[in-house]
Amino acid sequence: MTVEVGGVRQSAGPPLRQAVLAYLSSLAGSVVSKEQLMDAVWGEHLPGNASGNIHTYIAALRKQLDPGHQQRATDGVLASVTGGYCLRLPPAHLDSTRFLDLCARARTDRGRAPDAAARDLRRALDMWRGTSLQGVPGPFAQAERERLTGLRLSTVEDYARLMTELGHYDIVVQELSPVVRDHPLRESAHALMMTALERSGHRDEALRLYDRIDHRLREELAVPPRAALRELYRRLREGGVVQGAAPAAQGAAPGAPRIPSRTPAEPAAPPVPPSG
């Protein structure tokens, strides 16, 4: 997790300090109590000096984010206010907000300007660097990591679906290859990749991809692929050309690990303007 201060990107500090900043960033502009922070960082496993530790992390973050202000300042970027603390950052200073804004604009533009929508989704995905909140401890960070990972996967699939409709099948295969490798039970990604493989003249490879997910689902979850994926496989096997729009998004197979809905790899890494 990183922050940007005065145009310089730097680490947000040790893992527990990052956990504090991650939670504050998720509620930027709102008052966050010390108790909320302790719960986000440690959950039910509070250390004996949790309250003092939070004070230490806040002081270190304030010094890093807003070096021109005094500790316990009420008007700085990280302010001490009645009831707790407030991270005062405009939404546009958070990578996560910029990512979501690009995705929203892409959805709006998709029907009338698909090329512009594809560019926005590409820009959004290019903001990601590694695993979201990697190494940041605590129950909040864990839940947020899962949510953001799912959001990134959904965005990759949205981009792949759009690029399929625009005829860029090689890009789709390149984009989805790591997804189907790392998420071998994700049927929506497999359907999109099978479609792109078939349309680019690699039907046999598309059939093999189906065989792999079929085997994994039956072996690990004791369920077959969903009806839509089975139908796509049937058409491919019978030699029918897959026509029309790219496969729509689908839920995970019954019993599959739930993949919640990652923004940029350091989603709670706020670029902070210099003081003064």
Q: How much is the pLDDT for 214?
A: 98
Say whether both 34 and 71 belong to one domain. Answer: yes
Q: How much is the pLDDT for 131?
A: 85
Q: How much is the pLDDT for 141?
A: 97
Residue type, 272: V
Element (H, E) at 38: helix 34-42
Inside any domain, residue 271: no
Inside any domain, residue 146: yes
Residue type, 59: A
User: Domain count of the chain?
Assistant: 2
Inside any domain, residue 258: no
Q: How much is the pLDDT for 269?
A: 44
3-state helix, strand, coil in the chain (%, to 5): 55, 5, 40
Task: Say how far apart CA 50 and CA 158 lie, in whole Å.
Answer: 42
* DSSP at 14: S
Task: Say how far apart CA 193 and CA 157 lie, in whole Å.
Answer: 10
Say whether both 109 and 219 belong to one domain. Answer: yes
The domain that holds 185 is classified in CATH as 1.25.40.10
Q: How much is the pLDDT for 70?
A: 62
Residue among 29, 182, 179 at smallest CA distance from 191: 179
The answer to whether the CB of 78 falls within 8 A of the CB of 126 is no
Say whether both 204 and 117 belong to one domain. Answer: yes
Q: How much is the pLDDT for 242?
A: 65
Task: Say how far apart CA 123 and CA 114 lie, in whole Å.
Answer: 14
**Residue 149 is encoded by which pair of tokens?**
């990972």
Say whether both 216 and 108 belong to one domain. Answer: yes
Say whether both 15 and 110 belong to one domain. Answer: no
Q: How much is the pLDDT for 107?
A: 95
Say whether both 215 and 110 belong to one domain. Answer: yes
What is the SS3 assignment for 127? coil
pLDDT in tens, 211-260: 999 999 999 999 999 999 999 999 999 986 666 555 655 443 322 332 22
Say whether both 77 and 103 belong to one domain. Answer: no
Mean pLDDT of the chain: 87
The answer to whether the CB of 245 falls within 8 A of the CB of 196 is no
The domain that holds 35 is classified in CATH as 1.10.10.10
Residue among 144, 124, 242, 255 at smallest CA distance from 191: 242
Confidence of residue 266 (pLDDT cuts 50, 70, 90): very low
Residue among 62, 61, 18, 19 at smallest CA distance from 43: 19
Say whether both 22 and 143 belong to one domain. Answer: no
Inside any domain, residue 246: no
* Residue span of the structural domain in which 23 resides: 2-89
Say whether both 65 and 153 belong to one domain. Answer: no
pLDDT in tens, 114-160: 999 999 999 999 998 888 899 999 999 999 999 999 999 999 999 99
Say whether both 133 and 181 belong to one domain. Answer: yes
Q: Which residues pair with 84 in a beta bridge?
A: 81
Residue among 180, 127, 138 at smallest CA distance from 9: 127
Inside any domain, residue 147: yes
Say whether both 83 and 108 belong to one domain. Answer: no
Say whether both 198 and 222 belong to one domain. Answer: yes
Q: How much is the pLDDT for 138?
A: 97
The answer to whether the CB of 62 falls within 8 A of the CB of 41 is no
Inside any domain, residue 74: yes
Inside any domain, residue 249: no
Q: How much is the pLDDT for 261?
A: 29
Bridge-based pairing of strands 78-81 and 84-87 is antiparallel
Exposed, middle or buried by CB within 10 Å (0-12, 13-18, 19+), for 234?
exposed
pLDDT in tens, 34-56: 999 999 999 999 999 999 999 99
